[in-house]
Amino acid sequence: MKKYLKVALLTVLSVLLVFAFTACDPDTSEVAGTYEMTEVSGKINGVTIKKEYYDYFRIILDERGNGVVQSKSGGVAYEAKGRFTYSDGVIRMTSKQGSVSATEEYQYADGVITYSVSSVQMSFTIVLEKVED
Protein backbone atom coordinates (compact mmCIF):
# COMPACT_ATOMS: atom_id res chain seq x y z
CA MET A 1 0.00 0.00 0.00
CA LYS A 2 2.81 2.41 0.86
CA LYS A 3 4.44 1.72 -2.49
CA TYR A 4 1.29 2.64 -4.42
CA LEU A 5 0.77 5.76 -2.34
CA LYS A 6 4.38 6.80 -3.00
CA VAL A 7 4.00 6.28 -6.76
CA ALA A 8 0.71 8.21 -6.80
CA LEU A 9 2.22 11.13 -4.86
CA LEU A 10 5.27 11.25 -7.14
CA THR A 11 3.02 11.26 -10.20
CA VAL A 12 0.88 14.09 -8.83
CA LEU A 13 3.99 16.06 -7.84
CA SER A 14 5.49 15.62 -11.31
CA VAL A 15 2.31 16.85 -13.00
CA LEU A 16 2.15 19.86 -10.67
CA LEU A 17 5.78 20.76 -11.40
CA VAL A 18 5.16 20.61 -15.16
CA PHE A 19 2.20 22.98 -14.81
CA ALA A 20 4.13 25.29 -12.49
CA PHE A 21 7.08 25.65 -14.86
CA THR A 22 4.82 26.05 -17.88
CA ALA A 23 2.82 28.77 -16.14
CA CYS A 24 6.00 30.65 -15.17
CA ASP A 25 7.36 30.73 -18.71
CA PRO A 26 6.69 34.26 -19.97
CA ASP A 27 4.92 34.71 -23.28
CA THR A 28 7.49 36.32 -25.53
CA SER A 29 5.94 35.24 -28.84
CA GLU A 30 4.65 38.77 -29.52
CA VAL A 31 8.18 40.21 -29.62
CA ALA A 32 10.11 37.18 -30.93
CA GLY A 33 11.91 37.87 -34.20
CA THR A 34 14.82 39.66 -35.83
CA TYR A 35 14.98 43.45 -35.71
CA GLU A 36 17.25 45.62 -37.87
CA MET A 37 18.24 49.22 -37.17
CA THR A 38 16.33 51.74 -39.30
CA GLU A 39 17.25 54.97 -37.51
CA VAL A 40 19.87 56.27 -35.09
CA SER A 41 20.37 59.73 -33.66
CA GLY A 42 22.37 61.29 -30.88
CA LYS A 43 25.94 61.68 -29.65
CA ILE A 44 28.57 59.55 -27.95
CA ASN A 45 31.42 61.50 -26.32
CA GLY A 46 30.38 64.56 -28.31
CA VAL A 47 30.47 62.76 -31.67
CA THR A 48 27.23 62.61 -33.65
CA ILE A 49 26.38 59.03 -34.61
CA LYS A 50 24.81 58.16 -37.92
CA LYS A 51 23.28 55.04 -39.43
CA GLU A 52 26.00 55.05 -42.09
CA TYR A 53 28.60 54.34 -39.39
CA TYR A 54 27.14 50.84 -38.91
CA ASP A 55 27.42 47.86 -41.24
CA TYR A 56 24.55 46.42 -39.21
CA PHE A 57 22.85 46.64 -35.82
CA ARG A 58 20.30 43.97 -34.98
CA ILE A 59 18.51 42.36 -32.09
CA ILE A 60 17.36 38.73 -32.32
CA LEU A 61 14.77 37.50 -29.80
CA ASP A 62 13.40 33.97 -29.64
CA GLU A 63 10.21 32.64 -28.07
CA ARG A 64 12.14 30.97 -25.23
CA GLY A 65 13.45 34.29 -23.89
CA ASN A 66 16.93 34.16 -25.43
CA GLY A 67 18.28 37.29 -27.06
CA VAL A 68 21.30 38.39 -29.09
CA VAL A 69 22.48 41.92 -29.87
CA GLN A 70 24.81 42.13 -32.87
CA SER A 71 26.48 45.13 -34.45
CA LYS A 72 29.42 46.03 -36.63
CA SER A 73 30.91 49.49 -36.95
CA GLY A 74 34.33 50.58 -38.19
CA GLY A 75 35.29 46.98 -38.88
CA VAL A 76 34.66 45.97 -35.25
CA ALA A 77 31.95 43.37 -34.64
CA TYR A 78 30.11 43.10 -31.32
CA GLU A 79 27.82 40.36 -30.06
CA ALA A 80 26.16 39.94 -26.67
CA LYS A 81 23.91 37.01 -25.77
CA GLY A 82 21.47 36.98 -22.92
CA ARG A 83 17.96 36.43 -21.65
CA PHE A 84 15.00 38.78 -21.92
CA THR A 85 11.56 39.30 -20.49
CA TYR A 86 8.66 41.22 -21.97
CA SER A 87 5.87 42.99 -20.13
CA ASP A 88 3.70 46.07 -20.76
CA GLY A 89 5.60 47.27 -23.82
CA VAL A 90 9.05 46.90 -22.25
CA ILE A 91 11.70 44.34 -23.19
CA ARG A 92 14.34 43.86 -20.47
CA MET A 93 17.43 42.06 -21.69
CA THR A 94 20.27 40.95 -19.46
CA SER A 95 23.45 40.02 -21.28
CA LYS A 96 26.89 39.01 -20.15
CA GLN A 97 30.28 39.78 -21.69
CA GLY A 98 33.01 37.98 -19.76
CA SER A 99 32.42 38.74 -16.09
CA VAL A 100 30.34 41.87 -16.76
CA SER A 101 26.55 41.64 -16.74
CA ALA A 102 24.23 44.41 -17.94
CA THR A 103 20.47 44.86 -18.20
CA GLU A 104 19.03 47.15 -20.86
CA GLU A 105 15.45 48.22 -21.44
CA TYR A 106 13.88 48.61 -24.87
CA GLN A 107 10.47 50.07 -25.61
CA TYR A 108 8.33 47.89 -27.90
CA ALA A 109 5.25 48.74 -29.95
CA ASP A 110 3.83 47.25 -33.16
CA GLY A 111 7.00 45.50 -34.36
CA VAL A 112 9.33 48.39 -33.49
CA ILE A 113 11.97 48.44 -30.75
CA THR A 114 13.23 51.80 -29.51
CA TYR A 115 16.43 51.84 -27.47
CA SER A 116 17.32 55.13 -25.79
CA VAL A 117 20.32 55.97 -23.62
CA SER A 118 20.86 59.25 -21.82
CA SER A 119 23.90 59.84 -19.62
CA VAL A 120 26.71 62.37 -19.23
CA GLN A 121 28.87 60.93 -22.03
CA MET A 122 26.20 59.65 -24.36
CA SER A 123 22.68 60.40 -25.44
CA PHE A 124 21.23 58.47 -28.35
CA THR A 125 18.20 56.63 -29.69
CA ILE A 126 18.23 53.58 -31.95
CA VAL A 127 15.04 52.42 -33.71
CA LEU A 128 14.84 48.82 -34.95
CA GLU A 129 12.05 47.31 -37.00
CA LYS A 130 11.06 43.65 -37.22
CA VAL A 131 12.30 42.10 -40.44
CA GLU A 132 11.71 38.42 -39.65
CA ASP A 133 9.54 36.39 -37.26
Apex CA 90: angle with CA 127 and CA 82, to 5°? 85
Helix (H), strand (E), coil (C) string for 23-39: HHCCCCCCCCEEEEEEE
Secondary structure class of 21 (helix, strand, coil): helix
- Which alpha helices (DSSP H) does the chain contain, by range? 2-24
Supply the pLDDT for residue 15.
35
Name which residue leads in pLDDT, 3 or 65: 65
Least confident of 17-31, 64-78, 87-101, 116-130: 17-31
Domains of the chain: 27-132 (2.40.128.20)
Q: What is the pLDDT of residues 49-96, one digit of tens each?
A: 999 999 999 999 999 999 999 999 999 999 999 999 999 999 999 998
Which residues, 6+ apart, have CB-to-CB distance to 94 below 8 Å? Answer: 82, 83, 84, 101, 102, 103
Residue 81 pairs in a beta bridge with: 68
**What is the chain's mean pLDDT, rounded?**
84
Residue type, 37: M
Q: What is the pLDDT of residues 34-49, one digit of tens each?
A: 999 999 999 999 999 9
Specify the pTM.
0.77
Name which residue leads in pLDDT, 27 or 123: 123
Q: With left for phi above 0 and alpha for psi between -120 and 50, is residue 30 left, alpha or beta? A: alpha
Least confident of 14-28, 70-84, 93-107, 109-123: 14-28
Dist. CA 5–CA 96, nearest whole Å = 46
